[in-house]
Amino acid sequence: MKIVFVTNPPLADLIDRERLKGLGEYREVTEEEYRLQGPGTLADAEIILCGSQLVKKELFDACPKLKLVVIRAVGYNTVDLSCAAARGITVCNNPLYATVPVAQHAAALLLSLTNQIRGFSNEVLRGAWGPAKARSLGAFPMMELRGKTLGVIGFGRIGRETARILAPFGMQVLAHDPYPTEEGRALAEYVPLDDLLAGSDVISLNCPLTPENHHLIDRDKIARMKDGVMIINVSRGKLIDEQALAEALRSGKVRAAGLDVLENEPPADDCPLLSAPNCLITPHVAWSAPESRKRMADCMIDTAEAWLAGRPINVLTAPGKT
């Protein structure tokens, strides 16, 4: 079995190459090599471990022997699953590696906003500690979380972990998800989306991107929210209409937003959120703690091993499954 791992710098030093060599004929291709040489550089591969952005028809066309693709991400909205199924190729994702760090990042964004960390830190750096501190208190009003309501849209692993982190601050938790679970009911009250929008002081997006929820948060949805709501997004940038959110931040309808993802990454210079007030943006790094990256690499190998042993896991599509 010929196995190719398409590596990038965050993973290159964390791959257990001995395990992979034990599975078959193993080689590596960097993402930079792939960009320069095209998918033909993987032409002999039967198993490919790679980023989801590569898993398109052109890859399948170039790799006639391909049987299995393991993507390193949780999300798979860019993967051509229908083409894979038509070609008889199994595609698996990597759903477990980033649950804790992504939920932790959602909480970190929220706490940075409620406690005005960036504003106060900048004040200290410019020397405004002392008599000027009183002015800072007015310029950067803080907010307690106790007694506030957290609304989580998408109550899967990451959404539930986010609730576990933030509930001890004294927050009540509402959840909206098409697939309620008993584990979820122990953490939150499941409600319709309109009830969540109207009742939440903080809204956290933790759902996958699908054609149906593109721009889930738009002008209409924002209008249904509480005045002064906070929005956190560590899922997919296209869940939010960025122009609508920027307008709501400027008007004060949305008090603040904490985002690890944007519609276009990296953003264009005219991205409206880059100049919007009270908007904290990080560059899609919630998943990237060293522990998480190591887990990512190991879980990809676990998935390949399970498939080879005839016990496939984390399957998105397989021969006959559409």
Q: What does the pLDDT look like over 104-143, one tens digit per residue?
A: 999 999 999 999 999 999 988 888 787 767 677 778 899 9
% of the chain surpassing 90 pLDDT: 89
Q: What is the pLDDT of residue 95?
A: 92
Q: What is the pLDDT of residue 134?
A: 65
Looking at every residue in the chain, the average pLDDT score rounds to 94
Hey, how many other C-beta atoms are within 10 angstroms of the C-beta on 61?
14
Report the amino acid identity of residue 12: A
Nearest CA-CA partner of 50 in 300, 309, 318: 300
Q: Which two tokens stand for residue 233?
A: 């997004």
Average pLDDT over residues 6-11: 91
Q: What is the pLDDT of residue 321?
A: 44
Q: What does the pLDDT look like over 26-36, one tens digit per residue?
A: 999 999 999 99
Catalytic residues: 236, 265, 284
Residue 170 CB burial class (10 angstroms; 0-12, 13-18, ≥19):
exposed
Q: What is the pLDDT of residue 198?
A: 98
- Rounded CA separation 190/177 (Å): 7
Q: What does the pLDDT look like over 212-270, one tens digit per residue?
A: 999 999 999 999 999 999 999 999 999 999 999 999 999 999 999 999 999 999 999 99
Q: What does the pLDDT look like over 34-46, one tens digit per residue?
A: 999 999 999 999 9
User: Which residue did the predictor score with more confidence, 169 or 130?
Assistant: 169
Residue 91 in this model has a pLDDT that exceeds 80: yes
Average pLDDT over residues 82-106: 95
Q: What does the pLDDT look like over 286-315, one tens digit per residue?
A: 999 999 999 999 999 999 999 999 999 999
Q: What is the pLDDT of residue 131?
A: 72
Average pLDDT over residues 6-12: 91
- Calculate the alpha carbon distances from 105 to 112, 179, 202, 272 in Å: 10, 24, 15, 23
Q: Which two tokens stand for residue 214?
A: 């593109």
- The pTM assigned to this predicted structure is 0.91
Partners of 164 in beta bridges: none
Strand residue runs (E) in 110-239 = 149-153, 172-176, 189-190, 202-205, 229-233
Confidence category of residue 318, pLDDT binned at 50, 70, 90: low
Q: Label residues 90-112 b or e (16+ Cβ within 10 Å = b).
A: bbbbbbebbbbbbbbbbbbbbeb
Domains of the chain (ranges, CATH numbers): 2-97+290-317 (3.40.50.720), 99-281 (3.40.50.720)
